[in-house]
Chain A
Amino acid sequence: MSEEANIHPDKHQRFRGDHPIVVEGLRTQFGEHVVHEDLSLTVNRGEILGVVGGSGTGKSVLMRAIIGLQHVAAGDVEVFGKSIANAEPDQQLGVRNRWGVLFQGGALFSTLTVGENVEVPLRQFYPDIGEELLHEISRYKVMLSGLPEDAVAKFPSELSGGMKKRAGLARALALDPELLFLDEPTAGLDPIGAAAFDRLTKELKETLGLTVFLITHDLDTLYEICDRVAVLADKRVIAVGTIPELLETDHPWIDEYFNGPRGRAAQASQQRAKALDNPTKGKA
């Protein structure tokens, strides 16, 4: 938010550059098997970037490389202007408290309640926050993620798949991150749950001023909430842009992806929704 004065020490400052994530010439490999070769990708601040690609094209590996969980064989990954490439997973980088990650299965700590799960990152990074405030924070975070209040005291095994995702999101949001990584957030959700999660993602992005890196297979998600879409194929990002821009490139995979039966269905449903929404809702 640019109206705020620029006088405070670095550690309390939100990222003001244009590109919170910059990947340059990335190569990752497992033994002999090269997953990415010369991959470059830039994420703009404040956007929801959808990342798509066929199974096995390394979408999750790319995310793991960006958050420093994956060994980078060549190239550089910068997050908030700091190089992440090949930092030790346990090294203090000063950026880990500025992003939140929602893993595919939620990755909630199964022995802790949802509320305690949300408190874990807070306790880890800010041990000076009092116990009472900690509970309050975890409670409103859980509710912010669209869970009912009594979910705070529940264990992950007592939650449904969709609720686990929301609980995982609450933990990802625990530290008020500027950057949110979502790995297939709507996979395994029913269409209603998936649509609700999409809306939630967009709402949170707007309220909290997040930048979202979203891996998905869900065409509806792409049409509904993504500002730009990056397409992974042939070991690199072959195109980035809005969906109309992508359709103009005539890469066969992109064409098949968006113009296949499911792609057309998603497109049609989005147009219908727009037609219904337009009288009441302006551009968000």
Chain B
Amino acid sequence: MDGGAHFSVEEVEGSGAQLRLCGPYLVSTIGAIDQDLDAIAGPFTTIDLSQVTEIDTVGAWIASRLARNHGAEITGASARAERLIRAVQKSVSQEEVLPIHEPIWQRVPLFMGDKVEKAWHGIVGVVGFLGQVLIGFGTLLRHPRRIRWTALVRQFELVGVAALPIIGLMSFLIGIVIAQQGAVQLEQFGAETLTVNLVGRITLRELGVLMTAIMVAGRSGSAFAAQIGTMKLTEEVDAMRTIGISPIEALVIPRIIACTFMMILLSFFSSVAAIVGGAVVGDLLLGIPFWNFLDRIQDVVPLHDLYVGLVKAPVFGLIVGLAGCYHGMQVRGNSEEVGLRTTMAVVSAIFAVIVLDAFFAVFFTEIGWG
């Protein structure tokens, strides 16, 4: 005896072959022997369990499966083995439940159709959600006392104030990169003083607001989706509804307002930080004194560049907030969904922001704010 489960097949006079199982037949020992047991060709008429030292439900299952497959009879079972075999046999049904498996020519169109339908539902859902938010705004305007100031201020802090260091640092570094790389290229035409124009215009018009939107989507949009999604899972959102609090008013609107307004301030702050970064490079590399750089900004950057940035910022903020809250409210089922929706919130927000930015670029050039 080697301590593991083993078996032997032997001829017994008069009654055909006998399969004798020996040793412990437990969940811990069965893995080593399962394949061999399956490979027994048979035929045998009895399964002898008298040499089985230990048995649990897995062993009982194996014995009863062998008995069933080979039409054999179980003998020599201890009281415990008999009890276990009865218990597992009771829970066996005749039919196998097999997962339904469609052939590939059905699966591909099914998958495509599913995607298209989901995309359509997504669009309808977002529009519907925007409508709900607007109705919520309307109610709040008519009943200003229902505005949740504490929640609103808290969101202002989380979305705006708390983001200042990271957005400041990021923009400062971007300003440095643009100024330095721009200067290298412009030097070839002897026009390195135009670095000021480059930094000033690109950050105020485009990069300040775009990078801030991306950062806010990553920081706050994802947080919105995760927070609201978790609250949906724990039924907090349902609890709110039953108490008569509209989740749109209590959860969604403060976040969207915070996102919209804070984006204006943050993107302006981001542009300023980038210009300061550019000015530092100007001072150190190009020989343009720091304060001269800032003075020149006022001369070379038309005021409408600032307006372009300030018009885009709240729109992007709205999109980021809307995407985060919408996906948060769509969470249902399990915790995996929260992660999935959070990712979708960030990706869809950034994508929408960039697409819209392209439209804005064309639009502003057309109206003469080039």
| Residues of A bordering B, CB below 8 Å | 1, 3-5, 7-9, 11-14, 97, 110-111, 122, 125-130, 133, 136-137, 140-141, 143-144, 149-150, 152-153, 155-157, 173, 175-176, 207-209
Contact = CB atoms under 8 A, between A and B. Distances in A.
Given A140-B88, A153-B99, A207-B83, A128 B3 contact: no
B368 interface: no
Given A126-B31, A144-B88, A209-B80, A4 B53 contact: yes
B152 interface: no
Interface stretch (B197-205, B271-279, B331-339): B331-339
Given A14-B54, A111-B336, 14 more contacts: A4-B78, A12-B28, A12-B53, A110-B334, A110-B336, A129-B31, A140-B92, A144-B88, A144-B91, A150-B97, A152-B97, A176-B57, A176-B58, A208-B87
Interface of B: 1, 3, 23-24, 26-32, 34-35, 53-54, 56-58, 61-62, 65, 78-80, 83-84, 87-88, 91-93, 97, 99, 333-336
A114 to B, nearest CB: 12
Nearest to A147: B91
Nearest to A126: B31
Contacts of B78: 1, 3-4
B26 A136 contact: no
B199 to A, nearest CB: 48
Nearest to A176: B56
A208 B84 contact: yes
B292 to A, nearest CB: 60
Contact of A133 (B30, B56, B79, B97): B30
Contacts of A141: 57
Given A8-B3, A144-B91, A97 B28 contact: yes
A1 B31 contact: no
A207 B99 contact: no
Nearest 10 interchain pairs by C-beta: A128-B31, A143-B91, A110-B334, A176-B56, A12-B24, A129-B31, A111-B336, A157-B333, A207-B87, A9-B3
A133 B61 CA distance: 10
A125 B30 CA distance: 12
A156 B31 contact: no
B31 to A, nearest CB: 3
A111 B84 contact: no
Contacts of B26: 12, 176
B334 A175 contact: no
Contacts of A143: 91-93
B34 A130 contact: yes
Contacts of A128: 31-32
Contact of B334 (A111, A152, A173): A111
A14 to B, nearest CB: 7
Contacts of A156: 334
A85 to B, nearest CB: 25
Contacts of A7: 1, 53
A202 B56 CA distance: 17
27 contacts: A1-B78, A7-B1, A8-B54, A12-B24, A12-B26, A111-B334, A126-B30, A126-B31, A127-B31, A129-B27, A129-B34, A133-B30, A133-B34, A137-B27, A140-B57, A140-B91, A144-B88, A144-B91, A149-B97, A153-B99, A157-B334, A175-B27, A176-B26, A176-B56, A207-B83, A207-B87, A208-B56
B97 A207 contact: no
Contacts of B88: 140, 144
Nearest to B51: A5
A148 to B, nearest CB: 9
Nearest to A5: B53
A171 B92 CA distance: 18
Contacts of A155: 333-334
B302 to A, nearest CB: 54
Contacts of A8: 3, 23-24, 53-54
Nearest to A121: B27
Contact of A111 (B24, B65, B335): B335
Contacts of A153: 97, 99
Contacts of A9: 3
Nearest to A128: B31
A155 B80 CA distance: 33
A133 B34 CA distance: 8
Contacts of B54: 4, 8, 12-14
A125 B83 CA distance: 25
Given A140-B57, A149-B97, A155-B334, A12 B91 contact: no
Nearest to B87: A207
Contacts of B32: 128
A277 B311 CA distance: 80
B337 to A, nearest CB: 9
Contacts of A12: 3, 24, 26, 28-29, 53-54
Contact of A130 (B27, B31, B79): B31
B343 to A, nearest CB: 15
A176 B27 contact: yes
Given A144-B88, A144-B91, A208-B57, A136 B65 contact: yes
A39 B335 CA distance: 37
A188 to B, nearest CB: 14
Given A8-B54, A176-B27, A144 B97 contact: no
B58 A137 contact: yes
